[in-house]
Structure 1
Amino acid sequence: MASRLKMKANNQAASEGTEDGWRLPNQTPSLEEAHRTIAIPKELGFWRKLLAFSGPGYLVAVGYMDPGNWATDLAGGSKFGYSLLSIILLSNLMAILLQSLSAKLGIVTGRDLAQACRDHYSKPVVLTLWLLCEIAIAACDLAEVIGSAIALNLLFGIPILWGVCITALDVIAVMYLQNKGFRYIEALVIVLILSIGGCFLIEIILSRPDVTAVLGGFIPKLEVIRNKEMLYIAIGILGATVMPHNLYLHSSIVQTRKYEQNTEGRAEAIKFATLDSSLALMFALFINAAILIVAAAAFHSHGQNEVAEIQDAYKLLSPTLGATLASTVFAVALLASGQNSTLTGTLAGQIVMEGFLNLRLRPWVRRLLTRLLAIIPAVICTALYGESGTARLLIFSQVVLSLQLSFAVIPLVIFTSDRKKMGKFVNPTWLKVLAWLTTGIIVVLNLKYLLDWSGLTQLIARLFH
């Protein structure tokens, strides 16, 4: 019986142009408890079908507007005005491309990116990739937890360390909502995103930025590469925007939809998943650009060029803009951003651990374990550095994310360009070129950062002279 089922699966794979032999056996579906739980009726029209597929893109998008983005955007806006808006735009375009590839991988192969790596690479490579991804998730959670703790401190006077501990309770919310149904998690995330967007719309109205200067900021400038300080923040923005763990997350949560398991059904699922993530990420572009624009208009324009601490921004917004509402709205948006991102970070941790290691634990044990792996470094760093070092920690966490990004992007591009895995859905030539160009930009920027900040530049100069 088992052999007949395997033969049937191989025949179906062959009919769709894929080869099933690359998959490892006995691997459970990604996020098994939510896998294919949301039905997509065939008779729905375009807009209702788009609504049915919408949700995963917004869970991914919250990672692109987390408190780590706030630190890098505040630092960039206050120090360099609108100049780094071009980096935010470039990062967002990269994110749209990479997330569409991630969704396609999950839909076509039925594997998330972590599982695909486990199928494809040797055990030592898989363990290395898993450790790197766990470091990235810990760095991401460091930013999210500290951001939420700062917001609780600003709004309610709760000490930062206690705030960090309180944010750990979000794992309970994930467990409760996922038991109710995956749509509840998506609904909560979308409500929080709309709250953040509304808050920053108010901030932009209050700050009255120079529209011409804003538009000029979206034009790329060579100065970003030449100026080491600007490059450091630019790479932080890149790391904060294109997040490695979001690629793993997206390839998994698109599989919560119960689409037809044939060529037509997968093609339709790819189309709507790409629309969903692209629309959600355009909203993330607005949030990220708004943070930098507000920082440039409120601080850089008034000669306050060193506002990188979120607490300083909170204190200075109201007196600078002459509106007492500005600081409160800022803190509310920060709290919504931090809580939103920790929800999706917990899911990403579960997906990564299951996918790379194929661990089969009870759902509450898995979530608690992945949450502890991320929360412990945040508690230690907060206890050691306190409030004074939060901005440095936030920006550094985003640089760590950026440095790890290549190890997620390169396998993603390789897998989606492999006809054995993707069959008819393999990346066409133009998309391969674009994907590898994006990968090249990420790798080159990171190498440039390492050369500039590790002292290797001087060493190489001595060797060649």
Structure 2
Amino acid sequence: MNDTTAQTRELGWRQSRDAETLPEVYRSMRIPTKGSVIKKFLAFAGPGYLVAVGYMDPGNWATDIAGGSMFGYTLLSVILLSNLMAILLQALAGKLGIVTGRDLAQACRDHYSKPVSMVLWVLCELAIAACDLAEVIGTAIALNLLFGIPLIWGVIITAVDVLIVLLLQHKGFRYIEALVITLMGTIGVCFLIEVIWSRPEIGGVLQGFVPSAEIIKNPEMLYIAIGILGATVMPHNLYLHSSIVQTRQYEQTSLGKREAIRFSTWDSTIALFFALLINASILIVSAAAFHTAGFTDIADINDAYHLLTPILGSTIASILFGVALLAAGQNSTLTGTLAGQIVMEGFLNIRLPAWLRRLITRLIAIIPAVIVTAIAGEDGTMDLLILSQVILSFQLSFAVIPLVKFTNDKKKMGEFANPLWMKILAWTVAVFIAVLNAYLLVMTVF
């Protein structure tokens, strides 16, 4: 047994890491060893925004619009709770990648038996397909609303993001991060204007952030609430984050890793705070514009787009809505493609040419989306968006439990293993997610 293998097993891993995650950009961005804390943080900032993109994708729009129009501001508390859980889980995902040099998929393949790893891979691919379905359909709807492009052609056009990712990643990972942050800023500006125009009731908004027992008692409200949970805490984002934090050249020392963990946590927390504001804004606009006016059954993005103009009294309101939706859909397909690559390479340990990997992961989403759109048409797309988010929430536990297990393990994490208070908090979140999903399943069946 060589020294590397012995050291690996001593650290709680069965085998040495056999490949780098996202090899084309692995440790490609330098972190300054000297300078102010702000300078170092800015060099590390970026991965959190790619992660935050998944928290404002078109699936979120479907659940937020449905929740706001049906129940007013009540489900704002679910968005807040989901975001707080997301902040914790993404911090753990970043820590796992920084400390172990493995993304979550690689860690699962090392730790579990081959059959278990294959099951986890299939479940994760299903989750990514459900998520991509929402993103692709959302982009297609935006193209249809803004430019009149038929949904089927809109779905096919989303394949262009494969070329965008390849082009930008070839130039450097910073270009992908810059594009994502720009699109994210576009969404934020659009909804800031929408919120101002919709004139929400401030007291109702503040009260909405306080949890209500009615959410658990009302099956319809619970269904939308778990859809929001599934749309907010995205399982593939945990795999994504554990990989892209490794694009930074942090020092491979105890001090260097500790500093990297701190900056990574700041980065993802700040980015997710912006995601919280945007998610909350979507629900607030829906509640103020639709629920207040008596339109309590708006779960369709098309209806929301067309009703904003007469209700808010400005055609620009609908245009801003469409532009924000297009930005959200394109942003999400970019990061979804990266997540698909990470999951496929991590679980299966296969190495394919970059263009082929991108094409495969994109087709996994586009082919079902074309079939679904052709069969269901415009009428069925919104039901599919909400259903896709519920599917995501069911799969969430299969990503969360391994993540919590690994980061709690002192053999795998060494001095960076979660302290007792974080172990308790992390397991509480994991159990809460699992119980909530089981409860929804029982309510749905019976």
Taking structure 2 as the reference length, what is the TM-score of the superposition? 0.98
Counterparts of 1:384-423 in structure 2, within 5 Å, are 384-423=375-414
Counterpart for residue 463 of structure 1: none
Do the aligned residues in 2 keep the contact of 1:415 with 1:421 (CA within 8 Å)?
yes
Pick aligned residue for 1:274 from 265, 272, 288: 265
Q: Does 1:149 align with 2:149?
A: no
Q: Does 1:430 align with 2:421?
A: yes
CA RMSD of aligned residues (A): 1.2
Q: CA deviation at 1:46?
A: 0.9
Name the counterpart of 2:40.
Answer: 49
After superposition, residues 116-131 of structure 1 pair within 5 angstroms as 116-131=107-122
Match of 1:347 in 2: 338
Pairs within 5 Å for 1:275-294: 275-294=266-285
Deviations 1:349-383, CA, capped at 9 Å, x for gaps: 00000000000111111111111112211111111
How many matched pairs?
A: 446
Structure 2 residue 174 is the aligned partner of structure 1 residue 175 = no
1:250 aligned residue (241, 260, 282): 241
How far did 1:19 drift?
A: 3.0
Q: In structure 1, how many angstroms separate the alpha carbons of the residues matched to 2:228 and 2:112? A: 30
Q: What is the CA-CA distance between 1:21 and the residue it aligns to?
A: 5.3
| Deviation per residue, 1:237-282 (Å, 9 max, x gap) | 0000000000000000000000000100000000000000000000
Q: Deviations over 1:161-198 (max 9, x none)?
A: 11000011111100110011010000000000000000
Give, as a single letter, the amino acid of the residue that structure 1 aligns with 2:119: T
Corresponding position: 1:439 with 2:438: no
Matched, 1:231 2:230: no
Q: Deviations over 1:283-327 (max 9, x none)?
A: 000000000000000000000001110000000001001112100
Give the Cα–Cα distance (whole angstroms) in 1 for the partners of residues 35 and 328 of structure 2: 33
Alignment of 1:97-136 (within 5 A): 97-136=88-127
Looking at structure 2, the residues matched to 30 and 132 of structure 1 have their Cα atoms a distance apart, in angstroms, of 20
How far 1:208 sits from its partner (Å)?
0.5
The letter of the residue matching 1:110 is G
Q: Which amino acid aligns with 2:375?
A: L
Shift of 1:4: 5.4
Partner of 2:2: 3
Change (3 A) 1:123 1:292: same
Q: Using the TM superposition, give the Cα deviation of residue 44 of structure 1 relative to its aligned residue in structure 2, in angstroms.
A: 2.3
Paired position in structure 2 for 1:318: 309
Question: What's the counterpart of residue 360 of structure 2?
Answer: 369
CA offset digits 1:411-433 (Å, max 9, x no partner): 00000000011000000000000
Alignment partners' CA distance in 1, 2:343 and 2:105: 6
Which amino acid in structure 2 is aligned with residue 114 of structure 1? A
Describe the SS at the equivalent of 2:210: coil
Q: Is the 8 A contact 1:247 1:408 kept in 2?
A: yes
Amino acid at match of 1:301: T
Which amino acid is the alignment partner of residue 2 of structure 2?
Answer: S
The CA deviation string for residues 204-256 of structure 1, in whole angstroms up to 9 with x for no partner, is 01000000100000000111011000000000000000000000000000000
CA distance in 2, matches of 1:275, 1:214: 27
SS of 1:219's equivalent in the other structure is coil
Which residue number corresponds to residue 250 of structure 2?
Answer: 259
| Counterpart selection for 2:182 from 160, 176, 191 | 191
The secondary structure found in structure 1 opposite 2:73 is coil
Q: Distance in 2 between matches of 1:297 and 1:3?
A: 65
Measured in 2, the distance between the counterparts of 1:266 and 1:19 equals: 19
Work out whether 1:88 is the aligned partner of 2:87. Answer: no
Pairwise mapping of residues 54-65 of structure 1 onto structure 2 (< 5 A)? Answer: 54-65=45-56
Q: CA deviation at 1:6?
A: 5.3
Does structure 1 retain, via aligned residues, the 8 Å contact 2:17–2:102?
Answer: no
Which of 435, 441, 444 aligns to 1:450? It is 441
- 1:27 Cα deviation from its structure 2 partner: 1.6
Gaps spanning 5+ residues in structure 1: where? 456-465
The residue that corresponds to 1:203 in the other structure is 194
> 2:10, 2:377 → 1: CA distance?
53
What do residues 424-453 of structure 1 show as CA deviations (whole Å, max 9, x unaligned)? 000000000000111111011101100000
State the shift of 1:20 in Å: 3.4
- Letter of the aligned partner of 2:350 in structure 1? L
User: What displacement does 1:23 show?
Assistant: 4.2
Structure 1 letter corresponding to 2:275:
A
Contact 1:19 1:423 in 2 (8 A): no
TM-score, structure 1 normalization: 0.94
Give the one of 318, 324, 329 matched to 1:338: 329
Counterpart pick for 2:62 among 51, 59, 71: 71
Instruction: Report percent identity of matched pairs.
Output: 68
Contact 1:206 1:323 in 2 (8 A): no
Alpha-carbon separation, structure 2, partners of 1:454 and 1:24: 43
